[in-house]
A = this chain, B = another copy of it.
Amino acid sequence: MPRRRSPDTRRLILDRATDLASVEGLEGLSIGRLAEALEMSKSGVIGHFSSKEDLQLQTVEAARALFEAAVIDSQASRRAEHGRERLAALVESWIAYVASEVFAGGCFFWAASAEFDGRPGAVRDRVRALTQRWLETLEAEVRLAQRLGEVSDDEEPAQLAFELHAFVQEANWARQLLDRTDAFDRARRAVERRIAAAAPGALAANDA
């Protein structure tokens, strides 16, 4: 049953691809594997992609779009006032997104990071650029919170972003490998405490 290359079919394929890739890896993606998972013919899948790398890159873009819609452009993130409140909302939206298991294998970008960090090429470059951009979004919000007087000037934005980012990646890891259902609550506690410790008055926490 060959199909036209409709945008809807492409979206359906990529939706399944992000899910499969989170479990089996981007390298495990193939036209055959996708056709099987979608109960489509290979010919229905193949026309949408010019190469395996194109399939991988389009899958990364699909995951990016889902992430941005659910985290950066979420109602919770957009409604929060800029500063500490927005910083907390961004991280909480991210935790909720990963915890909701949108992808069967947990955080798409975490899985793609581990798979591609040692494989030079366009896929690694794109995954790297997107995760870098997310870290920079968090850093920019820390800087803005500092200008607003809500985060101590002693905090280095990149350091605070590193720590907050670490808690969420750790939760994803603990959930996926150790089946720890409490992992996201641990991340929430760590994030809440760390953001509280970054407040201008929280001196003891800024001593170290």
The B-contacting residues of A in range 106-153, CB under 8 angstroms, are 106, 110-111, 113-118, 124, 127-128, 131-132
Number of copies: 2
Question: Does A1 make an interface contact (CB < 8 A)?
Answer: no
Q: A167-B163, A173-B169 are in contact. Are A197 and B204 (CB under 8 A)?
A: yes
Q: Considering only CB atoms and an 8 Å cut-off, how many residues of chain A contact the other chain? A: 51
Q: Which residues of B contact A65 (CB under 8 A)?
A: none
The answer to whether residues A196 and B190 also contact, given A113-B173, A117-B177, A173-B113 and a CB cut-off of 8 A, is no
Chain A interfacial positions (CB closer than 8 Å to B) = 22-25, 104-106, 110-111, 113-118, 124, 127-128, 131-132, 158-159, 162-163, 165-167, 169-170, 173-174, 176-178, 183, 186, 189-190, 192-197, 201-205, 207-208
Q: Would you give 11 A-B contacts (Cβ < 8 Å), ordered by A?
A: A25-B115, A105-B117, A117-B173, A124-B177, A166-B170, A170-B170, A194-B208, A197-B205, A201-B204, A202-B205, A205-B205
